[in-house]
Amino acid sequence: MASNQINSVSGQPRNYHKASADRMIDFQKFARRYEISNDFAVKLRGLEGYEFVFICDDSGSMNTPLGDAIYSHENQPTRWDQLKKIVSVVVDLASALDPDGIDIYFLNRQPILNVRSSAELGSVFAMLPEGSTPIVPVLRQVLQEKHCQIHERKLLILLATDGVPTDEDERPDIKTLKEVLMHERIPADRVPVTIVACTDDEYSMEYLNNWDKIIPNLDVVQDYRSEQKQILDCQGKDFPFSFGD
């Protein structure tokens, strides 16, 4: 049922482009909206022309509340809420840098293609996550479907997850994901991957430790609050570090 609902949202790929001048205006608005520092904004401009793909973990564990004492139990945001916030930021960024928007894939439902505004995400994220964590087949699907485009422009894959990948029998399968990242991005320097942790539970993401040191063109990012704490502990509490950064 979930897949049918998503199909009605995604429809057919939309083939339209936004002029470069309009994208520059959108990027400036994006940087102001999310309080992006000037130095980081310059780095982000280097992604212009990349093909953006976001792989979202919509497994059942994404319903887990975040461990944050500042919220009451009734208003406790979940990992799914955090993911929506992250995807919204990336969609607004991609619309300013990627001429045909961003494609969003899920682990347990159909993708939505050429998304150009975070306003398009409401109905998708209103459906609660359920299912397992089949990261590998979805990652392989993206690599296969985008294979021809990789030679025209670089493909940036962002993968947001809260746990260990599973195989077709729902058993943990970390080894295959590592092998795909190491050997099936061809060429790897044109397919950078960023893995975003959607949890403050360090144990569940322990398998990613040091992967970005041994796997080329891979970056592993902690959840925002953990990253913020680490940065402020090092740089001081007055160091500017927004959610956009």
Domain coordinates in residue numbering, the chain = 2-9+26-235
Place of tokens 């399968």: 173
DSSP state of 129: P
Task: Give the chain's end-to-end CA distance (angstroms, integer).
Answer: 37
On average, the pLDDT of the chain sits at: 83
Q: With 90 as the cut, is the pLDDT of residue 8 above it?
A: no
Domain 2-9+26-235: give its CATH code.
Answer: 3.40.50.410
Q: Are 110 and 7 in contact (CB under 8 A)?
A: yes
**CA 220 to CA 197: how far, in whole Å?**
8
Q: What angle do CA 36, 200, 103 make, to 5 degrees?
A: 55
For the segment 72-129, what is each residue's pLDDT rounded down to a tens digit?
Answer: 556 789 999 999 999 999 998 888 888 788 999 999 999 999 999 999 999 999 999 9
For the segment 77-86, what is each residue's pLDDT rounded down to a tens digit?
Answer: 999 999 999 9
